[in-house]
Amino acid sequence: MMHADVEEVLLSGEEVQARVVELGAQLAADYEGREPVLVSVLKGSIIFLADLVRAMPIPLSIDLMEVSSYGTSTESSGQVRILKDLSTSIEGREVIVVEDIIDTGLTLNYLLRYLHDKGPASIRICCLLDKPARRLAPIEIDYRGFTIADRFVIGYGLDYGERYRNLPYIGVLRPSVYGAAPPA
């Protein structure tokens, strides 16, 4: 059943699950014997992370960070405040950054520099959704679930005002929910 606030289902739960299983298999093959640490950013990415690691039958660990952008979301400055840091050392580790969606790329750009300074053996990026239309910082994405158009999406971890994260599919939010201007 489609939520009343959803204008269109962009990716069904089945489509998302199938792609996540493919990404997991690809990552498991690439990282066999390397015991990677998957670093995810709260909160939106945890649903993706939870499904992704269950599709990766290799030794791995996970760690979580939480960040907040300074200023409003409409004028993202790229300045990021770390609300929750890594709980383990990533020095010498093979890091996979797991992201729900990459939009301007500013948050991830900051995060990558921060992680690089901690001396990992490697860093690669795995994102479920790539929204390249609004990219401001160049980001090399190593593993990508889907490329989507510049529309505000919710579900499968993605929120609007902390709601809709529990929808099992990716949907386009009905404009009447957010008023005149789209968020983010």
Can you give the binding site for ligand IMP, defined by CB under 6 A?
A: 44, 76, 100-108, 131, 152-154, 158, 184
Give the ranges where the chain is alpha helix by DSSP (H). 13-30, 46-53, 106-116, 175-178
> How near is the Cβ of 58 to ligand IMP at its closest, in Å?
26
The reply to whether 85 belongs to the active site is: no
> How near is the Cβ of 110 to ligand IMP at its closest, in Å?
8
Dihedral (C-alpha) 2, 165, 19, 175: value to the nearest 10 degrees? 50
> How near is the Cβ of 115 to ligand IMP at its closest, in Å?
15
- CA neighbor of 3 nearest in space, from 179, 182, 183, 168: 168
List the catalytic residue out of 30, 85, 100, 103: 103
Measured over the CA atoms of residue 180, residue 107, residue 135 and residue 163, the dihedral's sign is negative
Could you list the active site residues?
A: 103
